[in-house]
Amino acid sequence: MRRGSIASLLGIGIVSGGIAAAVALAIPWLPVSASKEAGRIDFVFWFVVTICIVIFAIVSAAILYSVVVFRAAPDDDSDGPPIHGHTGLEIAWTIVPTILVTAIGIVSAIVLSQDDAIAKNAMNVNVTAQQFEWTFSYPEAHNLTSATLMLPRGRETVLHMQSRDVIHAFFVPEFRENEDIVPGLTTTLNVTPTRDGTYPVICNELCGLGHSTMRSTVTVMEPAAFDKWLKGQSKAVTSPSAATAGAAVFKNNGCAACHTLTAAKATGKVGPDLDKLPAEAQQAKQPLASFVRTSITDPNAYIQPGFPKNVMPQTFGKAIPKQQLDALVTYLINSSK
């Protein structure tokens, strides 16, 4: 190989590598990073991308160079030189990629073990997924349940995730965290949020027709604000006054998204108007208290005419602790009078 061809090969390589690098740098590939784990994962990402760009540059340069330089003239029927191989080269392109992928493997394994390590003071959150709803509950705060996830900044959190029906997955792009939730198993995920804000929680495993709507949010806040929220909420839901407790449970579980209830300033239209509960109970020919309770724990037991089946989540019976359920029922009965 002449020196000139080496130079031009190098030139093409640098240009195509440069273009690839520019694409990599100019475009904001990754969403903001909002967790400690995300930072490490981003490091692996860019580490591997760099290797890939170098390889891509080499390969594309060699191809482009060949296409330009070794193009046969239209009437050239001759053959190329009969080169059958070159042991040195063949060994080189076996060894070098082996080294590179080994490096990738080592870096990945280290990051993986770091991300998997669980701190001692980690907070626990139970996650229940079901077609097509999320419920989060805080075992350290009287099993307070919530339809959205609230997390304190800087504190490691372990999510213990269970599914009621099919496989779902918990995915927050800003956390770079993703794990399936498999019926019959409890899977876990560690997150240490580092950035305040509200991010989407995405169900990331095909789980049926509502898969694309199975969304919630996670809000990361100041530890102090979180403690205040947690205390306030758990005090409210365990408060002896059914009105305070019930109102809090109603709010945390996202009932307002679907129902109208004047006392809670809720105006949802997906489900029946809960201001009219007594009338509806009569229509169902059931005593009010038990009607309300079963409607929450087993919504499909009685379907209010004109409303769809299987829309109201069926998780509440399991997710809401007994006490809070009592409070919720009392609250609904009282406020619908």
Partner 1 sequence: MTAATLDPHEHHLTPSVRRGPVRRLLLGPGFIRAGWMFCLFGAIGFGLVVGFRWWGGWQPLFDMTPITLVSLLVAGPLGFLAGIGAFDYWTRYAIGSPTRPEDHSGHGARTWHDYFRVNTDHKVIGVQYLVTTIFFFIAGGFLAMLVRVQLARPGNHFFDPQTYNGLFSVHASLMIFLFVIPAFAGLANFVVPLMLGAPDMAFPRLNALSFWLLPIAGIMMLSSFLVPGGAFACGWTGYAPLCSTHQPLGAIFFNQGVQWAGASSIMTALNFLVTIITMRAPGLTFWRLPLLVWANFTTSLLVVIATPFIAGSQFFSMFDHVMHTAFFDPNNGGYPLGYQHIFWFYSHPAVYIMMLPGFGIMSEVISVFSRKPIFGYRLMALSLMAIVVLGFSVWAHHMFTSGMSSWLRVPMMVTTLLIAVPTGIKIFSWIATMWEGKLHFNTPMLFALGFLSMFVIGGLSGVMLGAVPIDIHVTDTYFIVAHLHYVLFGGSVFTIFAGIYYWFPKMTGRMYDERLGKLHFWLTFVGFNLTFFPMHLLGTEGMPRRVADYAPKFADLNMFISLASFGLGASVLVFLYNMITSWKNGPIAPANPWRALTLEWQVSSPPPIFNFDEIPQVVGSPYEYGVPGAQHAILAPSPTHAVEEVAAP
* Of residues 141-170, those binding partner 1 (CB under 8 A): 165-167, 169
Shortest distance (Å) from residue 210 CB to ligand CUA:
7
Is residue 26 involved in binding partner 1 (CB under 8 A)?
no
| CB closer to ligand HEA, 21 vs 100 | 100
Going by the DSSP 8-state scheme, the letter that residue 289 receives in this structure is H
Shortest distance (Å) from residue 211 CB to ligand CUA:
4
Shortest distance (Å) from residue 20 CB to ligand HEA:
14
Binder of residue 31, out of ligand HEA, ligand HEC, partner 1, none (CB less than 5 to 8 A by kind)? partner 1
Q: Which residues pair with 161 in a beta bridge?
A: 127, 187
10, 51, 152, 188 from 7: Cα distances, Å: 5, 22, 56, 53
- Which region, judged by CB under 8 A, interacts with partner 1, from 62-70, 121-129, 244-252, 274-282? 62-70
DSSP 165-203: SS-EEEEEGGGTEEEEE-TT--EEEEE-B-S-EEEEEEE
- Which region, judged by CB under 8 A, interacts with partner 1, from 138-146, 197-205, 273-281, 289-297? 197-205
Shortest distance (Å) from residue 218 CB to ligand HEC:
18
Shortest distance (Å) from residue 68 CB to partner 1:
10
111, 154, 301 from 35: Cα distances, Å: 14, 8, 42
283's enclosing H/E stretch is helix 277-283
Is residue 258 involved in binding ligand HEC (CB under 6 A)?
yes
148, 162, 170, 197, 199 from 204: Cα distances, Å: 17, 15, 6, 21, 15
Query: Rounded to 10 degrees, what is the CA torsion of 171, 175, 177, 181?
Result: -40
Using the rule CB under 6 A, which residue among 143, 311, 318, 321 binds ligand HEC?
311
Q: Could you list the residues that contact ligand CUA (CB under 6 A)?
A: 129, 132, 168, 203, 205-207, 211, 214
